[in-house]
Amino acid sequence: MDKGNTKEFIKKVELFRGIGEAGLSSIANHIYKKSYSLGDYLFTQGTPRMHIFIVCTGAVELFTTNTYGDEKRLTLFSSGDFFGEGSLMDDAPHSTNARITEDAEMLILDNSYFYENGSIAVKVLSNVARIISRRMQHANNMSNQSASQYVSGKTRTEHDLLGYREVPYESYYGIQTLRAMENFNISGVTLNFYPVLIEALAMVKMAAAKANNELGLIDETLTQAIVQACREVMSNRYHYHFVVDMIQGGAGTSTNMNANEVIANRALEILGYEKGEYKHCHPNNHVNLSQSTNDAYPTAIKIALINNNKKLIEVLKNLIKVTEDKGREFAHILKMGRTQLQDAVPMSLGQSFDAYAVTLTEEINNLTYNASYFLEVNMGGTAIGTGINAEVGYSEKVIRHLRDITGMDIKLALNLIEATQDTGSFVAYSGAVKRLAIKLSKMSNDLRLMSSGPRAGFNEINLPPMQPGSTIMPGKVNPVIPEVVNQIAFKVIGNDLTVGLAAEHGQLELNVFEPVIVQSLFESVEMLKNGMDALNHSCIRGITANEEHCRSMIKNSIGIVTALNPYIGYDNANELAKDALASGRGVYELVLEKNLLSKEKLDEILAPENMINPHKRV
């Protein structure tokens, strides 16, 4: 790209709006081009910010890495997008990573240029301030998307059943989404909190467009524009424009229209038109063709929940692995088992963690089984399941395309009227999620008890100290990670109740309360993923055992008398336990004093391998 072409290219970049011909020529003379290959990094978290990057060709993903090493993609940049402009505002290092996802040609401008060209710097900084202002207006979003960098005072006029409204010019959503934003300022949790849901909506719209094209309902050019727009949304682009609250009236219509409008407006741009020129690509007539909210919305929800369940199981497997590791690490350490919070019989500390690993492993199959109900969808049922406004053969075609796009074994429901009104799959899956939460909470209860003390409690294990525990009691450290997992379980149990109530309150041919079902399920899964990550990395990995204390508690416990039953009889054992409780002396000591067994025999009976596993009588 020569300097002339570079100038023409950057003229279209929002960052350089209003610079003027001379300024653009100056920038073009100082900017340089560099090629990158798939997997190359432009920068990483914590490194100095020294450049502004502009994508000529290819694609770049922006992502963060959390303390556990997990990656979270924030957005995907393609031709004409820019990033790194924040470096002009302060000296803070990069808070994200930028990695090439498709061989790319980049234009790079060093920050030092602006130190030497003050008048241009002022104009660029004005643009940067406007960009940041827009981001701050939407600070409740979980992450900044690339769409948030464009801002102006322009609007476009759109109309619907209720009249005309001015929509922000840069917004890919339209008038119906605008009304939903005004009507449903409910939870503050918008669709873009859950990228997997937005991706699933795009998958459904892509499959519908392909099916409609095969039926001759939309031409190839329009189909390809819609498909490309859907692909971009599936690549984390334009998620910033999915702004409707998760909890909404209308049975999900606002969510469906948010998707229809974003995809339609992006398709219009691909076709060379302005956003809002709906005669060329209409949210309802083209993107929503052959669909209703009542089949497209639940289908997208089900696809999203299947994908979210995979991520939940991945986090669960990691937790199981570290729990199994602790089981092996603590296999040799004896402790008292307890029933009803009373001393029972000895066991190994490793057996406690082995039991946790096994009970959590059971949940993998349970979650997978219940998520499989989501593979049955009602696409083509449209409004109530009768298939009104869907062409003959549409259902079969759209299901085939959905299978190809998602890689899932999606099936068309046998009875679309039943499938349109039924929410049983959500109820079943919510129950499975609740079961996992309950098991995690019980495990957290145990960890809090076993670590209680340290002087006046069980004090069998030590949890990693995460933060000071009191504003008044010096030296106190609380089991904050198990406590937060308990609280997550309380929320999940409450969400399951919400799902049940909402499912039961459906009437006739549609359940209008699916939005709160959806919000409850996504919230539960998100909290469980985060909670299990915290339990894994900030608790279980760092647990240590107080081995000598555990052994001394066994020696002084009344509970070991159970192991003597076969040798001295139940009645003698009862008397022995009674004497030990009354005198405060140990069972071991009293057995020898009463000459009930020899020391050698007693030691053999109380050997660890004979107390924690079935064995032949010695």
Q: Which residues are catalytic?
A: 470
Cβ–Cβ contacts within 10 Å for residue 384, how many?
Answer: 17
Task: Characterize the bridge pairing of strands 32-36 and 97-110.
Answer: antiparallel
Would you call 443 exposed, middle or buried from its count of C-beta atoms within 10 A (0-12, 13-18, 19+)?
Answer: buried
Q: Which residue has the tokens 């939460």?
A: 437
Q: What secondary structure does DSSP assign to 226-295, as a single string?
A: HHHHHHHHHTT-SGGG---BSS-SSTTHHHHHHHHHHHHHHHHHHHT--TT-TTTS-IIIIITTT--HHH
**CA–CA dist 95, 47 (Å, integer):** 8
Q: What are phi and psi of 88, to 5 degrees?
A: -80, -15
49 alpha carbon, distance to own chain's centre = 29
**CA–CA dist 432, 274 (Å, integer):** 47
* Helix (H/G/I), strand (E/B), else coil: 403: helix
Tokens of 271: 């076709």
Q: What secondary structure does DSSP assign to 568-585, as a single string?
A: H-HHHHHHHHHHHHHH--
Helix spans in 330-348 (H): none
Picking from 546, 587, 581, 585, the residue whose alpha carbon sits closest to that of residue 568 is 587
Tokens of 146: 């690339």
Q: Radius of gyration of the chain from Cα atoms?
A: 31
The partner residues of 411 in beta bridges, in order of sequence, read 376
Q: Are 476 and 470 in contact (CB under 8 A)?
A: yes
Task: Characterize the bridge pairing of strands 411-412 and 376-377.
Answer: parallel
Q: What are phi and psi of 322, to 5 degrees?
A: -70, -30
Q: What secondary structure does DSSP assign to 465-487, as a single string?
A: P-SB--SSSTT-B--HHHHHHHH
Q: Which residue has the tokens 């998707």?
A: 259
Evaluate the omega torsion of the peptide bond into residue 195 and state whether it is cis, within 30 degrees of 0. no
DSSP code at position 79: T
Picking from 191, 201, 197, the residue whose alpha carbon sits closest to that of residue 402 is 201
Picking from 520, 490, 476, 486, the residue whose alpha carbon sits closest to that of residue 502 is 520
DSSP code at position 85: G
Handedness of CA 7, 9, 12, 14 (dihedral sign): negative
Q: Which residue has the tokens 């407006």?
A: 265
Buried b (16+ CB within 10 A) or exposed e, 575-592: bbbeebeeeeebbbebbe
